[in-house]
Chain A
Amino acid sequence: MLRRAFLDLCWLTSLGRSQQIGEQLSEGSGPDKDIIDVERFGDRLDLLVHDPEKEQKWIAERLKGAGLSVGEMRVDEPTLDNIFVNKLRALREKADTTEFPAKQDHSRLRGQVAVGAKNLVKTFKAFTAVKNVSLDIRNGEVYGLLGANGAGKTTTIRMLCGLLELTSGTMELGGTGGNLRTEAVRKRIGYMSQRFSLYEDLTVRENLDFFSGVYGVPDQDREEKIRWVLSFSGLNGKENQITGSLPGGWKQRVAFGAAIMHEPDILFLDEPTSGVDPLARRAFWTMINRLADGGAAILVTTHYLEEAEQCNRLGMMVAGELVAEGTPSGIKSQQSGHVLEFILSQQQDQPQRAADLLRSKTENWKVSLFGERLHVFTEEDPATAIRETTKRLEENGIHVTSAREIPLSLEDVFISIVEKARAQGKAATDD
Chain B
Amino acid sequence: MICLAVNAATSVLSVALVRDEEVLHLYESHETRDQGNLLIRHAQDALDKAGLEYQDLDLLAAVTGPGSFTGIRLGIAAVRGLGMAANVPVTGVNSFDLYAARKEGALNLVAIESWREELYFRLIDDKGQDVIAPVNITPEEMAEKVKGEEELVVVSGDAAEKILPLLPNAHIATQDIPNAGTAARLAIAQAEHMRPVPFYLRGADISKPKS
Task: Please indicate whether A and B come from the same complex rather than being unrelated chains.
Answer: no
